[in-house]
Structure 1
Amino acid sequence: MDLDELYRLLRSSHVRATGIVDTLRDPLLVLGPDMTVISANPAFYRAFEASADETVGRSFTALGDGQWDIDELNQLLREVVPKSASIYDYEVTADFPHVGSKTMLITAQRVEHPDRHHRILLVSIVDATLRRRKEAEKDILIGEFDHRIKNLMSVTRALARQTSVKDRSAVEYRDDLISRLDALGRSLQIAAHRDTTSLTELTEQMIEPYRDGASRIEVVPGPQVPLLPTQAMSLGMVLHELATNALKYGALSGDGGQVSIGWTPEDDPDGMPMVRLHWNESGGPETAPPDSQGFGTKLIEVSMEHELGGQARLDFRPEGLRAELTFPQHG
């Protein structure tokens, strides 16, 4: 039986309220015209861990530690009786004795006894704490999803717009863009289902496509460094650009070249924990600083500075590229 059914039954018969309210699953109070509690059902006592002595005969506003003493709510309840009106789902969020923080929905209806000499007020209380929590979590999830989609689209547009088309065929442009999108996908996949990932795992995953079975890329074992999802995405793209550059022009472009990757934690002059990652190439063709800054180099520097809050130093030595990446350590 819900509150509406109880309301109709009480208006059409002489059935005592005390016997019926006990059957309702939600907490319910029966109030007199002066807002004094006439009775409460077992569901009310269970929900608020209260006793009849603490409830019956007391003013509604004095129940608990005064959580129901809300001016707007009391005004609505006092208007219900004289105007024969109703209120539905008035929300109350408060810390209740014994049960903690709760969000309650209040529904109240005036009932006039068939003899027209007695009036009571039925106040139904529904615990909406879990529902509101789930709604809040859903809103956060939707907001986060929207934020991530916008960020992903921004990155994708930037990759498409800035991937060089100069002196290149459509096929070359396509292949280069797809390669970068694949790298973005790998870094997102690594960070997708966890709060943090490790620098070791990210490095191994990002360089895996560039390994040819000859152990030409060595990841020097280093300390465990946790990475936030945003760090993993940005650093993953940086590692991809370094590996792509090595494959096209550097140590991985011919036989015998080697790449060594390692990192060490350290503090900056202000005492902030940092990570210094080294990318060292050797054994490949002689290298020299490029005549102009390409998109790959620009992406590395921008990602390190603006997205990771760090710095990239690229030293194009004749024996091979030396890259030093520094960024703040989290966790």
Structure 2
Amino acid sequence: MNEDLQMQDPLGDPKNGHILTRAIIETIHEPLIVLDEKLCVIAASQSFYTKFNVNAENTQHHLFYELGSGEWNIPALRNLLEEVIPKQSTVRDYEVSHDFKMLGKRTMLVNARSIEFENVGKKMLLSIFDITKERLVEDELKNLLHEKNILLEQKNNLLNEMRHRIANSLQLIASIILLKAGSSSSDEARKHLEDTHERIISIASVQRQLDPTGTDGTVNVAPYLKDLCANLTKSMIGGRKPITLMVYAESGSVTSDEATSLGLLTTELVINALKHAFPGGEGKITVTYTSEKDAWTLLIADDGVGYSMTEEKPSGLGTSIVDSLADQLEAKLTRESSSNGTSISLIHSIPSLA
């Protein structure tokens, strides 16, 4: 009787559980076929017949590679499957791209596993998952990402060009103001024009140094401050004064707006130190930036005479500018001054989300 049942059903004796196996095969959503040791089809799911427009008559008892119009006769896949049954191995997510007669260009994931039924030998379960849409979406996302990167690069190039043009225009305006200051007969007017010249130069310097903006809109603080101070040294000190300007900066990044405020604040404080801290003409200014996980600190210090020894106290337009920039950065501003020098620190703490 068992032999008669085996002839009726290629999966074998019902006592071996083939009724449940067939029920699973016939109801599974994705295409699934069962192969014998010679890779002949002995059963297939209805989803396989529907997907590839075939039927049981032209599928069962045919070699897997002969199905349809030989669409599955892919040498690499064939060699792979021929190793599954003898070695009792498993094939997982083997990707096949092929132009199928009824479906067109498709990308399939093939999974294969060797199984063994009692009294009927080894078999192979082969599942086929169509991932064509997923691959098309992935390719589209890759193309969109590539286009996005191109647009970001173009945007950064335009921004850099705009900053250079703004800086050049400011430089021209500053030069005109300096010429006016030189020809002014009023000491007070000359002083105001010179102050205006210095502040325009500081804005121009900040604009030039914003070039290192990343694709995420942030600026790496360390090279930004170093380049900014190098430019200040060149334009404000040069070889004319025995004053050194040093920068000590740790790694860290801020937004472009924050970098602008940091640059303007640093420039204002450095220029202020150059003007008032060294009546003897010699000294040192240090700019220090430290960064931690939830805070950063900017310290600008000099070894000059301090506020108490100078004519000007920490008040006026420069002080108002510094206070305003500190407010924009939401940073705590601290001033300390003595006969050994002046230090001004800003501490910005990132609010906790807890």
TM-score of the aligned structures, taking structure 2 as reference length: 0.44
Highest RCO, 1 vs 2 (Cα 8 Å, sep ≥ 6): 1
TM-score of the aligned structures, taking structure 1 as reference length: 0.47
Please identify the structure whose Cα radius of gyration is greater: 2
